[in-house]
Amino acid sequence: MAEVADIAFFQELEQRPDPSLKQEAQGIPLIDLSCPDIDAIIYDIRHACTKWGFFQIINHGIPSELRHKLEEASRKFFHLSMNEKRKVRIDTGKVLGYYDTEHTKNIRDWKEVFDYTVQQPTLAAASVDENDHQVAHWENQWPQHPPEMRQVSEEYAKDMVALGMRLMELIAMSMGLTAQRFEEFFKDHTSSVRLNHYPPCPSPELALGVGHHKDPGVLTIVAQDDVGGLEVRRKSDGRWVGVKPTPNAYIVNLGDVLQVWSNGEYESVDHRVIVNSEKERYSIPFFLK
């Protein structure tokens, strides 16, 4: 990574994390998806979506071995030489793969990422211009190392789609709609997985792993490791609070599309990632969209 003295990484003063204010959120909803009482789950989801905009889930059915395999592959990939990683880098005409220069709101993030989509190819609007009817075909790029990366990544993505669709059924029911209400919108979905690596940062008080933002999609299901660093803006008081890692749990946060589909009742929530000077951190968000 670059030196943090590179001002491209400096957050505006009011965006810099204040370690003395560091606070871990209490009472983030934790939802057990194996609970036999569906009405109780739906009630808890409604509460979580209106009061917090995010929650954690346990007993979600994703095999922990599969998650660990992908975490291992991710670790191996990011530890390759820059030369190797750049063989699959994002470039003109290639929107999926490796890159380390993402900016959130014009400030560079202290991270490197690897993106891939679930559908091959993924068909997406070629531009944001509504009169432009061109369709872009996005294709994944796979590295040679580690050799298992492609197979593990694809298997994981399939499981994530199934979990995402199950959550959409519960969310639909929590809005008083039929479970299948949103299903038709996902026929040609553009869902993707991102492997995130946040290296140790010499000046964690100046930079952020990801600057504050809301996810643009429908919902995001995040696997974070045991280091911690994800913070969300608590709706009740607007303060940044840390989401404490819970082994094998997933964090679910609502995106902008769900906010629209719920007529603003389920708001998409602002979040960011703080970094630290000692430990590297890995996370794997799945964006359902």
115 binds Ni ion (CB under 5 A): no
* Amino acid of residue 163: L
Return the range that interacts with ligand OGA (CB under 6 A); candidates 33-41, 154-162, 222-230, 259-267: 222-230
Residues 187-226, one symbol each (x = binds Ni ion by CB under 5 A, - = not), give ----------------------------x-----------
230 binds ligand OGA (CB under 6 A): yes
* Amino acid of residue 9: F
Structure tokens given for 151: 């197979």
238 contact partners, CB below 8 Å, separation of at least 6: none
CB of 251 to ligand OGA, least distance (A): 7
CB of 253 to Ni ion, least distance (A): 7
Of 74, 191, 196, 262, the residue at the interface with ligand OGA (CB under 6 A) is 196
Torsion of CA 141, 145, 146, 149, to 10 degrees: 10
Of 76, 94, 194, 244, the residue at the interface with ligand OGA (CB under 6 A) is 194
Question: b vs e for 174-203, b when ≥16 Cβ sit within 10 Å of the residue's Cβ?
Answer: bbeeeeebbeeebeebbbbbbbbbbbebee
Backbone angles phi, psi at 48, to 5 degrees: -60, -40
Residue 196 contact among Ni ion, ligand OGA, none, beta carbon within 5 to 8 Å by kind: ligand OGA
285 binds ligand OGA (CB under 6 A): yes
Backbone angles phi, psi at 199, to 5 degrees: -70, 160
The residue ranges that bind ligand OGA (CB under 6 A) are: 194, 196, 210, 215, 222, 224, 230, 271, 273, 283, 285
